[in-house]
Amino acid sequence: MSTAAASKPNSPSAGARRVNLKIVMTSPGFIYEPYSPRERIPFWKRWFTLSGWRRTKEDIISENAYAVSRLRKKTGYTKKQFYGEALNIYKEVNTLMAHGDTSALRKILTDRMHSTIKNELKRRQSKWSSVHWELVKPAVSIRTLRARMIGLDKKDLDKGFVQLTLEFVTKQKFEAYNSKGDVVSGDKSKEVLVKDIWVFERSLFHPGAYWRVCGRITL
């Protein structure tokens, strides 16, 4: 037998290499059940009617207790610690966007979100030469609007991703400049109240997993 025949694609060794190939999912690539605000109902209706009780139960379920409990068990999650981390990520993403640093953004965004931000920056750079962005700490408020878990394996409850949707209300300063350095938008001497809804995602099964931004909700 020639050496050429031994290296054909149908040889056992080549087949074994194909079987051992693993594809690792780093993100589902979508927002599971995107948040949308619900119509407000009167106090009396919420607490003194059957439909109001059902609505209250549905509102509570929006922050999925199961997803939070799995997150707490696997990562030691606490709301206070996460809010601090999420605000730092929020600040870092906006700062890097202001600097146009798409390479550094890649670490704290999912692939899909990174692609979205890159396209936004291209459109912005066609209008403005540079921008100034500043977060005025502390945040006015941060709250969880929704918690969801995306399971990948019914036999392994921890093999999945958790997505937490947060509402940030913050004071910010913004100013944009043209190629000559002239101010063409905003005023960095003034604070502006801004409300943003961002979705954060974390794997429960990847070693060394950390929070990344996987999307934003526009209402």
Q: What digits encode the pLDDT tens for the residues 176-202?
A: 999 999 999 999 999 999 999 999 999
Q: Whose CA is closest to 95, among 123, 126, 137?
A: 137
Q: Quick one: tokens of 138?
A: 């502390």
Cis bond before residue 42 (omega within 30° of 0)? no
What is the secondary structure of 158-172 as a DSSP string?
A: TSEEEEEEEEEEEEE
Q: What is the pLDDT of residue 63?
A: 58
Residue 127 backbone phi and psi in degrees, to 5: -105, -40
d(CA 91, CA 56): 33
Q: Whose CA is closest to 204, among 145, 147, 144, 150?
A: 150
206 to each of 89, 114, 219, how far by Cα in Å?
Answer: 20, 20, 32
Q: Where are the domains of the chain?
A: 63-217
Better pLDDT: 22 or 144: 144
According to DSSP H, which parts of 63-138 are helical?
65-75, 79-99, 102-105, 111-125
pTM for the whole structure: 0.81
d(CA 192, CA 146): 26
Q: What is the pLDDT of residue 59?
A: 62
Taking the mean position of all CA atoms in its chain, how far away is CA 170?
18
User: Which helix or strand (DSSP H or E) is residue 33 part of?
Assistant: none
Report the topology of domain 63-217.
Answer: Nuclear Transport Factor 2; Chain: A, (3.10.450)
Q: What is the pLDDT of residue 37?
A: 83
pLDDT reading at 12 higher than 80: no
Q: What digits encode the pLDDT tens for the residues 74-99?
A: 999 999 999 999 999 999 999 999 99
